[in-house]
Amino acid sequence: MSQTYRKAGVNIGAGEHVVKRIKKSARSTFTKNVLADIGLFGALYRASFPGVKNPVLVASVDGVGTKLKIAFAARRYDTIGQDLVNHCVNDIAVCGATPLFFMDYFATGKLVPVVAEEVIKGFARASKDNKCSLIGGETAEMPGFYATGEFDIAGMIVGVVDRRKIIDGKQIRRGDVLIGLPSTGLHTNGFSLARSVLLKKFSLGSRINGITGTLGDALLAIHRSYLRPITLLTSWTNVHGISHITGGGIVGNTMRIIPNGLKLRIRWNALVRPPLFSLIQRIGNVPESDMRKTFNLGIGLIFIVGRRDADTAVKVLRHAHEEPIIMGDVVEKKLKR
């Protein structure tokens, strides 16, 4: 009996079908700097940056972790692609960069074109919203590697910033003020703990007091992009540092940009914790220290500005319909004797 690649579980035709189905969505994100259509061996992007005197490329790569398990269980695939793009955009935007292009990796055991199309349409939708181009990617079919009906996604983004406008925390000083912006839920971190706690007691279709929609809706809430408020505030005032609150929590992520000799003084009582986080802590009897290290606790981004600029920053953000929260400041780290 002869053996073929198709019999081994790899359907090249399905992959080609996916490419055809998503070309229109990908093309809708193209700018004049994209020089090749989807499908070539390499994506071509013209390095033209008008108005940027000393361009520095900023890149990041990430995934969405076990949030995918919620999407599989709910059979809902239209949001996780957006999660991934927005997460990657935030990671370079906090450095002061403007996103240029995004590339994705979609891997599964058995390729289901309609599922792949939903995910990739999410990539395209978020790329368009963030004014960057989805210029290519890879779709891999690996039978026996993934559980039936499951897949993994990863993404890589490249942006550009003028060297003199890089935001890296080097300007942060004692007395600087922390201004937080709300998250839209768990974003893309802490799902292993959240699933372990919540799905022992509730189904994704459960409706719980204080939580809008079903539990599945709350867990799949899209990881928001902070590109617009970052672009706005950095054009109005001098921002000393910005942290994207992902795995590691508020302190863990923000300390990544705090200079030696300084630390954070967080006003935890100033933060109104969304019901979903309180539910996880109560049902799972999760220690407060673990909550703070695992989750964003309702704060997805933190600006660090000089004390004199704090009022202006808050006014600018409120005018843009954001909900800024003054949540602490930067203080000196006391030396241990």
pLDDT confidence of residue 19? 73
- For 69, the 3-state DSSP assignment is helix
Name the band, by pLDDT with cuts 50, 70 and 90, for residue 10.
low
Name the band, by pLDDT with cuts 50, 70 and 90, for residue 18.
confident
Name the band, by pLDDT with cuts 50, 70 and 90, for residue 25.
confident
Measure the CA–CA gap between 226 and 249, rounded to whole angstroms: 17
The predicted model scores a pTM of: 0.94
pLDDT in tens, 132-143: 999 999 999 999
Name the band, by pLDDT with cuts 50, 70 and 90, for residue 7.
low
In sequence order, what E strands does the chain have?
55-63, 98-108, 133-141, 151-162, 177-182, 239-244, 262-266, 299-305, 325-332
pLDDT confidence of residue 335? 67
pLDDT confidence of residue 2? 63
Name the band, by pLDDT with cuts 50, 70 and 90, for residue 20.
confident
In sequence order, what E strands does 66-109 have?
98-108
Percent of the chain's residues with pLDDT above 70? 95
pLDDT in tens, 225-244: 999 999 999 999 999 999 99
The residue-averaged pLDDT of 76-87 equals 97
Helix (H) or strand (E) holding 313: helix 310-319
- For 34, the 3-state DSSP assignment is strand
The residue-averaged pLDDT of 257-262 equals 96
pLDDT confidence of residue 26? 87
Two structure tokens written together for 32: 């004049």
Residue ranges matching CATH 3.90.650.10 in the chain? 177-332
β partners of residue 296 = none
pLDDT confidence of residue 13? 72
Measure the CA–CA gap between 16 and 22, rounded to whole angstroms: 10
Q: Work out the angle at residue 282's Cα, subtended by the Cα atoms of residues 276 and 288, and round it to the nearest 5 degrees.
A: 90
pLDDT in tens, 269-300: 989 999 999 999 999 999 999 999 999 999 99
Residue ranges matching CATH 3.30.1330.10 in the chain? 12-165
For 177-332, CATH gives 3.90.650.10
Measure the CA–CA gap between 139 and 211, rounded to whole angstroms: 36
For 12-165, CATH gives 3.30.1330.10
Name the band, by pLDDT with cuts 50, 70 and 90, for residue 164.
very high
Task: Return the percent helix, strand and coil in the chain, to nearest 5.
Answer: 35, 20, 40
20-34, 48-62, 98-112, 168-182, range with the lowest pLDDT: 20-34
The residue-averaged pLDDT of 311-322 equals 97
Name the band, by pLDDT with cuts 50, 70 and 90, for residue 337.
low
pLDDT in tens, 181-218: 999 999 999 999 999 999 999 999 999 999 999 999 99
The residue-averaged pLDDT of 88-104 equals 98
